[in-house]
Structures are given as C-alpha cells and as structure tokens.
Amino acid sequence: MALLINKCINVKTLNRCHKVCLTNRILRQCTRSNSVVILDKRKNNLHNIEDLKRQIHYTNVALKSVAFKLSDIGEGIREVVIKEWFVKVGDKVQQFDNICEVQSDKASVTITSRYDGVVTRLYHEVDQTALVGQPLVDIEVEGMEEEVSSTPTKVEGSIKSDVSASSVLDNSNTKGKVLTTPAVRRIASQFQVNLNSVPATGRNGRLLKEDILAYLNITSDKSNEVPNLPNEPVVEVKAKPEIILEDKVVPVTGFTKAMVKSMTEAMKIPHFGFSDEYNVTKLVEMRETLKQITLKRGVKLTYMPIILKAASLSLLKHPILNSSLDSSCENIIYKASHNIGVAMDTPNGLVVPVIKNVQNKTVLELAKELNLIQEKGAKGQLSLSDLSGGTFTISNIGNVGGTYTKPVILPTQVSIGALGKIQKLPRYDEEGNVKPAHILTVSWSSDHRVIDGVTIARFSNDLKSYLEDPYLLLLDL
C-alpha cells in the first residue's frame, strides 16, 4: 500500500497542488473585496498572480448531451422530409456547420448546428418525415469554465481605473447591436421586446431563437401569432348560421333524355369548324320594308325565313351538305328534300323542329310555318313528326346573346350552322371610309369524314352573297 501511494503522490504533484491552493486563496480575497483599498493592498501581488496565471491553467470540463431540435423555418411549415445527412454518429461539429438538408412543400432548407460537440444520435433516416419542434440529432456539448484566466484581468482593470470593486467585476451592462438572426428580430419586433434585455446563450454572445422564446415563455408555434395589443380595439365577429342544402335528384325524361342520347352519338363525329361574318345591312333594310307588308297579311316576318330560303338555295349548289352516312359508314346518302331543322328554346328545353321541303316554299310560307311551330313549342304541343326527318340544321343563338359558337352536329346529319347576334359595328366601305354596318356572325360545324374545309367555305360564301345582297334571291327563286 505504501508503495502504491508513493507512485501516485510525489513531491512534484504536491508542489503543484500547493500553488493552485495559494492562487485560489489570493483570487477569492480580491474578488470578494468591496473597496479599492483592499485592491491597493494586493497591488504588490499582481505580478505574482500574472506569473502564476502564465504557469498554471486548469479547466473544469462538463460533457452534456443536447437534443438538437428542428426549429420553425417559417411559412407555416409543420413538417419536412430529410433529403440528405451531412454528418453521422461520432462526427465532431461546430456552430453553423451543415447538419442536414430538408425538403418542405415549398423549398429545400439546409439545417446548421447551433452547438460545438460530437454527434451521438440521428433520429431520422433519409426520406423520413421530421416534425418541427422534434429532435433531429443528439450532440454531446463541452462546457468550459475558466476561473483563473478571467479574474486577474478584472482586478487589473479595477486598479488602473481606480473605481469601486463592484463596478469592476460587472462587465455585463455593455449595450450595442445584438448578434442574432432576422427571424429572432421579427419575433422581438412582433412582441415589442428589447433584445439587449434577453440573455444570449449562443457562441460569441449570439442570441438564439430558443433564448427569446424562453424569455417570452412561448412555444415556436405561437411565435407566428400576432399578440393582442392593449390599445387595439377588439372587433366582435358574429357567426352566420350555416344553411344546409340538400341535393335534388331528377330523372332524365322527355326531351332531355332524347338530347342525352343524340349528343352522346354526336360526340363520335369528328367535327370541323368554320366561322365568318356577314355584312347584312341591306338585309336589315329589306326586312324592315317587308315587315310592314307581312303584318297586313297577319304574318310576323323575322330574319329566319329569309335565311332558310337562302340556305336552301346554297344547298342546291353543295348537295353534300344535305346528305348523311349509312350505319356502316360505307355509303353517302344524298337527301332529295331540304328538311331544315331550327333550334328553338321552349319551356321544356331546347328542341329542333323541322321545316320540311324548304326548297319548294316561298319566304312568306316559311314565315307562316315558323309562326305556327313557335306557338306549338311555347305550349308544349310539338309532335314527333315535327321533330324528326331533318337533313340540315340552323341554330339561332342570337336571340339569347353571343356571337361565335361551336355547334354540335345532330346525327345522322353532316352539317349544322349557328347564327350570332346582329350587331351594329364600324366597317370600311369600298372607298375606305368608316361607316356603321350590321354584322352577322356565323359558325359552321361539319362531319370531317364527309365534308372538307373548302366545301363548307364555299357554301358559306354563297349564303353570304344572298344575305349581303338579298335582291339576288329574286333571281334564283
């Protein structure tokens, strides 16, 4: 036992311990002194203290494992996905070293360390989800306390400045710009906190977000909330009663059922569209003149009877537009009669009654038949014979409003036209002068399996010539 003690304790070790005890005794007497007089008595010992400080340097090292948590990265983000780790267990890290890269639903963010130490644990694997406020890694942090090296400096400063010992020992009242991040300054401005009054625990006096959250005694989630200031008026919001609505189920019947069936078949047809505008100024003038004459005969004259007759004359020049494909799509059937359907809005929905044998009727006869069909449609008295047998269709959307549209072909027809609203617009005449003109927009759709673009364009040009100069109808009637 004596041999073991001699090996562990020698004269050199005892001398070092004696020096340490002596130094501590002198320092404690200097720091506990409350007057300059005591400090003056120790002036002669300062040189000895400095010599001892150069010869002796000892620290108390405390290792502590800290859970490094995922801080609030703003934008209301509550969870992220780990995309890449820059450290592994056992790596030594310093403040602001990259820890990992995370991906939110808005951006990629690189997370940096706030501590100096050694990584002891990773809480997530790559592509796993991490929640804000939950630990990312564990870091073993080293805490350093240097008692000997700090005290003599304060004592020496007190002697040179000849001030009281209490003011010498307190150097924590220095005010200046606080070292911190924009996120911390935002929270301080939001909660009206003086950053100089918040204790900083970061490296080199850096004020961390955890410091101000601890000072305010709030969580990271509540840092995004705007506090209610005492001077702000509180507005009471009254909740509106919620009205619960119920869906209504209506069976598909009547004209709607027929339209569902026909439009389903129509979408199997490859449509080709063509649009143009007609200057119908002369047609408007002629219709105003004929309107007074037909009223005396008890007939209401609209633009539609004139357009139907002009369309029939144009179909004579382009009979393929008045045709249909057979069920096997191997033969084209040219129709002898011009049975032109007219789309009409009724209380029962959109219907398409058919004016049969338009090529054999005058404009006045067509006007009478249209008046009769409109009365029957308003009363819901249209029969099956009134709605079947059409070979060509014209829809007039101008009664409701609108200019251009894309009409859908009715099977088994191969073409359909839609008339827009007649508008009074500025146009150039033949001499280059701007004059008001009545413009009619027309849209055509054709079955591209049967009709090409040139054919529908030529048909539209023929109809355009009749409507722009209605007196040509007299030559071809």
Active site residues: 448, 452
Tokens for 92, please give them: 């030594």
- Please report, for residues 156, 243, 253, the alpha-carbon distance to residue 250 in angstroms, rounded to integers and kept in the order given: 97, 22, 9
- Token pair belonging to 300: 């209401």
- C-alpha angle with apex 459: 458 to 461, nearest 5 degrees? 65
Residue with tokens 């129709």: 335
Cα gap 182→289, rounded to integer Å: 80
Q: SS3 for 42?
A: coil
Biggest alpha carbon distance in the chain? 146
Whole-angstrom distance, CA of residue 312 vs CA of residue 477? 10
Phi, psi at 437, each rounded to 5°: -140, 150
Cβ neighbors of 284 (< 8 A, separation 6 or more) are: 422, 438
Helices assigned H by DSSP within 380-444: 384-387
CA–CA gap between residue 160 and residue 57 (Å, rounded): 25
Tell me, what amino acid is at 389? G
Pick the closest to residue 36 from 168, 147, 150 (CA basis).
Answer: 168
Q: How far, in whole angstroms, is CA 422 from its chain's centroid? A: 40
C-beta separation of 120 from 139 below 8 A: yes
Residues 6+ apart with CB under 8 A from 214: none
d(CA 271, CA 269) in angstroms, rounded, equals 6
